């Protein structure tokens, strides 16, 4: 038993249901949150983070019966089933029960409150989010429904054989699954139901073209290329339902030649070809579009390629609880069985959305982070081909050859190298982090290895590349004033005004171009406070000059 809570399991202390501190009301909210997502398991009698119940803990059947009865009274449209007392090998006892997902109605508490499970949290839902939840209800269960009543014997036998062979040869699948019969494997992956009919998911993977076409909203894709004037110059579509998801992915990658274009950059005596879009980024975004598409609404997946960017759009907004500002960390699935199948076939990560990989591959080539836009009907992701910052790229190449870093460390390093210096608050924002502690875990050993240096304290902390390291590397990197120390910047401003007389901050910025205007303004404030400079004029037209020495 895993000691950690997740999107489909929750641990509760026995004190939650018995004794003076019992709180069945909050437990009922957890039940509602599971029912409005994909169901789950509640374990009572094991503390969160523990592997086992207390040694001397005993559970009376009457406690279980009263708990289940009371939870049913406190909830509406929540299926609470299979309560069972378990005796752990240490002698202690706990009990567990299953929450079924509510397939057609929104589950609520008896007081009318609505909650949904997002990762390991019970999140309240209200207002506009209720509309999204109602739309998600059918999406949650779409995979398991069998509308066409297609028998397994009527499916494409070649697809059935090929699918089973891939599962049996996959390094991501346990021997326990591989040793099952063909039908048991298909049932395990929810491709057939207990009556032997193909589910909607089964039709997508194993069906014939005419069977896939009879799905309400089958998997269809359009690939469109535009010129500089945003005029269509090439189009390819997949509307004939000839491929399962894996075959379709391979066909798209083969057809989308524009996504394989490269840019040449010089690196010393050599020239290096850099892809406009890293191959791994294309694969992850295509898989995400297929895996998280809402199959209960009409619409194609669109892949639009412009001279400077690629936009992938799929029907349906982001899953409930996921936003553009937390997608790097949240783990919530719309089509969990499809995602599990794609993972076991080696096509995508089992957890999350793969955005950590997307971030890593983009920042390692000093490309902009993806731009994500989502509404109730669609989600689009824009990736820019960008112009590689040659110097920053060489820095990351040098570091990759001399240091072994984690994925998180590479992401942080790429963001710092791209900006030359960055405030901790700005870095946290780009990494979608909420606390300083979490930022430290992403920084890893970058400071200890002297790859990065820091200056300032708390929210004023800045991170920048360590100039000493790169002076030793013999890289041909031009110096920049962007990372200049504040005392050195103050000296430059004083020297400029000494020889040029009264000047505005804009004049100073033109002279010291690499330094951000905001940093110049801060230095001017300090110099005025120290009595070194005199401000003249109003705020809009303010100028500065050296104060006369007394």
**Of residues 543 and 265, which shows the higher confidence score?**
543
Query: Residue 412's pLDDT is what?
Result: 94
Question: The domain 390-482 is classified under which CATH number: 1.20.120.1200, 3.40.50.1110, 1.10.10.10, 3.20.20.80?
Answer: 1.10.10.10
pLDDT tens digit sequence for 48-74: 777 889 999 999 999 999 999 999 999
Q: What dotted CATH number matches 127-385? A: 3.30.565.60
| Structure tokens given for 132 | 């999204």
pLDDT tens digit sequence for 259-314: 999 888 776 666 788 899 999 999 999 999 999 899 988 899 999 999 999 999 99
pTM (two decimals) = 0.75
Per-domain boundaries in the chain? 9-126, 127-385, 390-482, 485-546
Query: Residue 3's pLDDT is what?
Result: 46
Nearest one of 177, 17, 3, 190 to 97, comparing CA atoms: 17
| Cβ–Cβ under 8 Å, residues 409 and 445 | yes
Cα separation, 340 vs 326, whole angstroms: 22
Sheet holding 421-423, edge to edge: 421-423, 462-465, 452-455
Cα separation, 233 vs 227, whole angstroms: 7
pLDDT tens digit sequence for 3-44: 445 567 899 999 999 988 899 999 999 999 999 887 899 999
Checking if the pLDDT of 474 tops 60, the result is no
Cα separation, 64 vs 479, whole angstroms: 70
Nearest one of 132, 126, 136, 131 to 35, comparing CA atoms: 136
Average pLDDT taken over every residue of the chain: 87
pLDDT tens digit sequence for 120-166: 778 898 877 787 787 777 666 788 888 888 999 999 999 999 999 99
Q: What dotted CATH number matches 9-126? A: 3.30.950.30
DSSP state of 198: B
Query: Residue 476's pLDDT is what?
Result: 54
Nearest one of 257, 258, 251, 265 to 227, comparing CA atoms: 258
Tokens 């708390």 identify what position? 458
B/e letters for 441-453, b = 16+ CB within 10 Å, e = fewer, are ebbbebeebebbb
Checking if the pLDDT of 427 tops 90, the result is yes
CATH class held by domain 485-546: mainly alpha
Query: Residue 269's pLDDT is what?
Result: 60
Which segment of 177-181, 335-339, 413-417 scores lowest on mean pLDDT? 335-339
| Cβ–Cβ under 8 Å, residues 56 and 87 | no
Checking if the pLDDT of 315 tops 60, the result is yes
Which residues, other chains included, contact 472 with Cβ-Cβ below 8 Å and sequence gap of 6+? none
Query: Residue 484's pLDDT is what?
Result: 67
Query: Residue 132's pLDDT is what?
Result: 77
Domains 390-482 and 485-546 are alike in CATH topology: yes
**Of residues 520 and 314, which shows the higher confidence score?**
314
Max avg pLDDT among 192-206, 324-338, 493-507: 192-206
DSSP state of 174: -
**Of residues 185 and 8, which shows the higher confidence score?**
185
């Amino acid at each position: 038993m895993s000691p950690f809570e997740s999107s489909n399991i929750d641990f509760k202390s026995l004190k939650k249901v018995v004794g003076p501190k019992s709180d069945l009301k909050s437990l009922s909210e957890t039940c509602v949150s599971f029912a409005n997502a994909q169901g789950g398991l509640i374990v009572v009698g094991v503390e969160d983070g523990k592997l086992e119940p207390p040694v001397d803990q005993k559970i009376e059947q009457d406690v279980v019966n009263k708990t289940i009865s009371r939870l049913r009274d406190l909830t509406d449209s929540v299926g609470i089933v299979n309560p069972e007392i378990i005796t752990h090998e240490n002698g202690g006892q706990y009990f567990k029960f299953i929450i079924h997902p509510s397939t057609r109605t929104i589950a609520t508490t008896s007081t009318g409150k609505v909650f949904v499970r997002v990762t390991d949290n019970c999140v309240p839902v209200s207002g506009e989010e209720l509309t999204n939840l109602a739309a998600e209800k059918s999406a949650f269960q779409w995979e398991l429904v069998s509308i066409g009543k297609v028998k397994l014997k009527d499916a494409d036998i070649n697809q059935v054989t090929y699918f089973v062979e891939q599962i049996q040869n996959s390094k991501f699948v346990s021997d326990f699954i591989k040793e099952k019969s063909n039908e048991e494997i298909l049932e395990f992956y929810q491709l057939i139901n207990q009556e032997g009919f193909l589910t909607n998911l089964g039709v997508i993977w194993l069906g014939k073209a005419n069977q896939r076409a009879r799905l309400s909203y089958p998997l269809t894709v359009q690939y469109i290329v535009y010129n500089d004037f945003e005029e269509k110059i090439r189009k390819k579509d997949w509307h004939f339902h000839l491929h399962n998801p894996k075959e379709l992915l391979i066909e798209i990658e083969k057809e989308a030649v524009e996504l394989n274009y490269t840019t040449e950059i010089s690196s010393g005596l050599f020239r290096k070809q850099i892809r406009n879009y890293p191959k791994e980024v294309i694969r992850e975004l295509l898989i995400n579009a297929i895996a998280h598409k809402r199959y209960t609404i009409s619409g194609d997946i669109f892949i639009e390629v412009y001279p400077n960017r690629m936009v992938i759009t799929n029907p349906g907004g982001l899953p409930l609880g996921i936003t553009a500002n937390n997608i790097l960390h949240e783990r919530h699935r719309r089509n969990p069985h499809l995602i599990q199948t794609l993972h076991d076939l080696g096509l995508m990560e089992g957890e999350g959305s793969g955005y950590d990989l997307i971030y890593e591959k983009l920042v390692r080539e000093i490309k902009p982070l993806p731009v994500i836009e989502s509404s109730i009907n669609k989600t689009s992701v824009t990736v820019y081909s960008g112009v590689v910052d040659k110097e920053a790229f060489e820095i990351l190449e040098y570091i990759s050859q001399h240091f072994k870093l984690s994925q998180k460390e590479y992401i942080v390093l790429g963001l710092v190298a791209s900006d030359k210096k960055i405030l901790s608050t700005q870095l946290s924002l780009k990494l979608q982090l909420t606390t300083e502690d979490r930022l430290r875990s992403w920084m890893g050993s970058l400071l200890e290895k002297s790859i990065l240096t820091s200056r300032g304290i708390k929210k004023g902390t800045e991170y920048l590349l360590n100039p000493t390291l790169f002076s030793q590397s013999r890289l041909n990197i031009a110096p920049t004033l962007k990372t200049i120390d504040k005392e050195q910047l103050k000296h430059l401003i004083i020297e400029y005004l000494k020889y040029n007389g009264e000047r505005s901050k804009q004049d100073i910025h033109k002279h010291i171009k690499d330094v951000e205007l905001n940093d110049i303004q801060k230095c001017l404030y300090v110099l005025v406070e120290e009595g070194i400079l005199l401000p003249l004029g109003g705020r809009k037209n303010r100028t500065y000059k050296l104060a006369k020495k007394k």
